[in-house]
Amino acid sequence: MAKGGSAKMLYFVLYIVLITELLIVITERDELQENEKLIQEKLIGSIATSYRLPFTLNVSPKVTDFNLGAADRHESEVVFELGGLVSDSEKAGVVYTVKLAPGSRSLEGFASEGVNSVDNTSGTFRIERTNGSAKFLGSFRSEGDYKFIVSAKTRRVLPNYLTPQLLEILKRDIGDNAEKEVQSNDGKPETFSIIVKKQGGVKKSGASIIDG
């Protein structure tokens, strides 16, 4: 009887140990699931905020002095940088448009409807893209203070790295802001000027894009 009682006690202790270990595993699993859910909520919240806010367009430099006829430089260069876009698809789909600002003097060789990053990627005045950003290049022939406006547009595209379940949560969170065409800076164009002078005038260095 003593041996039988000891064996039963041993099995009982082992049973208690197993139950305890199982409870620990379940508790840790629940904590991990809670943490995972919290991380997902923060991720979706951050992405949703980006979709609600307008994407930004910045110009650098705002004023460029171009030395007409300088031997070491034949084109002016102005860089456009974007902010607030989430997915690679919407970055790739951005279309930039540059026009002469109202009141600016006319510019020889510059189309009256302006230039854009789809139809005008070559020529005297053109827009070249680099990793979602872009630069406006111009070859000027006459002196003057030329003022321009630039805008950008794209279609919001949801990121493809989310699971279908998270995508549905994101769609519900951002509502009408999903998959729609949007304008940079809420439709307000950015302005910049290029002051063209004869050789001997002041010339500022142009901005450049650094590929990441």
Q: Residue 118's domain is classified under what CATH number?
A: 2.60.40.10
Q: Count the domains in the chain.
A: 2
pTM of the model: 0.70
Name which residue leads in pLDDT, 210 or 59. 59
Do residue 69 and residue 39 come from a single domain?
no
The mean of the pLDDT values for the chain is 81
Do residue 96 and residue 21 come from a single domain?
no
Percent helix, percent strand, percent coil in the chain, to nearest 5: 35, 30, 35
Do residue 88 and residue 130 come from a single domain?
yes
Question: pLDDT of 53-101, one tens digit each?
Answer: 888 999 999 999 988 867 666 789 999 999 988 888 888 899 999 999 9
Do residue 151 and residue 194 come from a single domain?
yes
pLDDT given at position 212: 38
Evaluate whether residue 210 is within a structural domain. no
Evaluate whether residue 204 is within a structural domain. no
Q: Are strands 190-198 and 144-155 parallel, antiparallel or unpaired?
A: antiparallel
pLDDT at 179 over 70: yes
Residue 36 identity: E
Q: Where are the beta strands (DSSP E) in the chain?
A: 56-60, 63-68, 76-83, 95-100, 115-116, 125-130, 133-138, 144-155, 181-183, 190-198
Residue recorded with tokens 């063209």: 196
Do residue 153 and residue 85 come from a single domain?
yes
Do residue 40 and residue 138 come from a single domain?
no
pLDDT given at position 73: 62
Give the structural domain span for 121.
Answer: 55-198
- Which of 37, 52, 67 terminates a domain? The answer is 52
Split at pLDDT 50, 70, 90, the class of 125 is very high
